Structure 1
């Protein structure tokens, strides 16, 4: 199981090509969201019979100062022959222009450190340079891409304009931080909330806000003629302030859900000048 992808799936709302036009920056809401995770379905071949856990996603920052994202999920994966406890922790920072992206990921399996990846990615005119500090120092040259928050901004912009489909590339520092992935994003029509929505209590005053249904398929080997079958898919409800909920994370052999159970809204930082635009 590709545990390092699980934490980013909620957030995984991030993708876009590097030459996209500039657009106005939406008011992304600084917040902490807590999701209960559970098994949705699993094939016999996967060997998984149960998943139970929780994910905490914290988003802070502004288009003036950049964006910090902290994600931690702890899940218990029950298989036919054993039970495994996975604790995955990620901290990233994306600068205001979407030019640099630092990342630190730690994965623990049964309370033992399994993997630690740390580094910095820098977007240039011809592509992406990734300097990895851990586990071993190395430098990689990858294709043109965007980072997570700048794609979230683009996704909201496209949804507001009524666009329903686009393809893009993404670097999020996950796994070994050595690849750019291709994504296919499907945006549904803006939808009124259901009064019986089980996530409404957690949403509180946002429970009456409209949202867009979103589906993203992630493909390995961006720009290299990779497989036509996605590595995984993520669907969710996206609010215009960047909050996401009602997650379904599908890895082929199994899928799991993430239901919003608690939402804390943070005070916003001082607004940026009106002339501030998203990175181009």
Structure 2
């Protein structure tokens, strides 16, 4: 497989998550990974911690890479794409994790037949438990796609999708860890109110959420069926469910996701 040299633009949370996963998995050797960031402090830290190469500029990073990963904020991607436009050739693969920037948008900077992979990851990828939605464009071979997918599997579950679903995936996956963290925090606060020590309450709440999600994935049962299994007649759980319904729990989640999706479309 000729595509071995990886270049990463951006040393933020997701850029570092990908770098860390690649290094720890040993699917890419350290000497075949190069990074670039506008922050010299971040570059020094990354070089010392991961023993990878540091590029002096984006152009030099592109020249030394077979696969280029753009992991910057949406307001910075134009600068990056302007820099790489002349250096990016048909033999390279461009991977973007930039929210709200479509493949069509990227093609406004690089050649129309460029090999482009657009991703929507989420923060659990930091520990290899993420969801990574992937869509592609250009003459990417099956072998190349298999190689890229194998790399991304180090971050979690890779789901190949049509690009038209990316905004919806942003709402239910890309942004949803924030909603889940809020839920865990609220559960823990309630536990503290009921007399549990704070650290114990967080640990129990987090494990309960993780276990519940794992139960859905392992059994394949509908969430409503699993919910009904916990709700005994005239019991404590159905009383809690009654209160959640009275307060508009499900409606609040649905409206939050819809707002997130609409915001993603407007970026």
The TM-score, its normalising length taken from structure 2, stands at 0.28
Q: Determine which structure has more spread, i.e. the larger CA radius of gyration.
A: 2
Higher helix share: 2
Higher strand share: 1
